[in-house]
């Protein structure tokens, strides 16, 4: 029997945003949290986003406990940064157009 999460999707997303802001640049942000199949973990995608452009795509994920706002696991920061760099390079013209 699945238990009802004590932490909401919005709380999990907020916890991930705080976690990301402690370790990454401001262009990385949490997307919408989804419950895993067991109902015990929130899976929160990490995306690269720019003002006026929006999300460029997913660069990683963070797992958050549904019983507390504890970060259980995450994509390594180096992998997130590399995925972000690839997305930036693929969208460089659109980004520079908005900021020039």
And the tokens for 40?
């015990």
Does residue 34 sit in helix, strand or coil? strand
Question: Which parts of the chain sit beneath pLDDT 50?
Answer: none
**pLDDT at site 2:** 65
- Is residue 57 within 8 A of residue 48, CB to CB? The reply is yes
* Predicted pLDDT of residue 91: 93
Q: What structural domains and CATH numbers belong to the chain?
A: 9-98 (3.10.450)
Q: Residue 52 has what pLDDT?
A: 85
């Amino acid at each position: 029997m699945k238990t009802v999460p004590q932490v909401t999707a919005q709380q999990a997303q907020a916890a991930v945003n705080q976690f990301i802001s402690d370790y990454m640049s401001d262009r990385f942000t949490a997307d919408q949290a989804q419950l895993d199949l067991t109902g015990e973990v929130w899976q929160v995608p990490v995306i690269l986003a720019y003002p006026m452009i929006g999300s460029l795509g997913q660069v990683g994920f963070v797992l958050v406990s549904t019983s507390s706002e504890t970060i259980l696991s995450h994509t390594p920061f180096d992998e997130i940064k590399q995925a972000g760099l690839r997305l930036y390079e693929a969208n460089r013209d659109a980004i520079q157009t908005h900021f020039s």
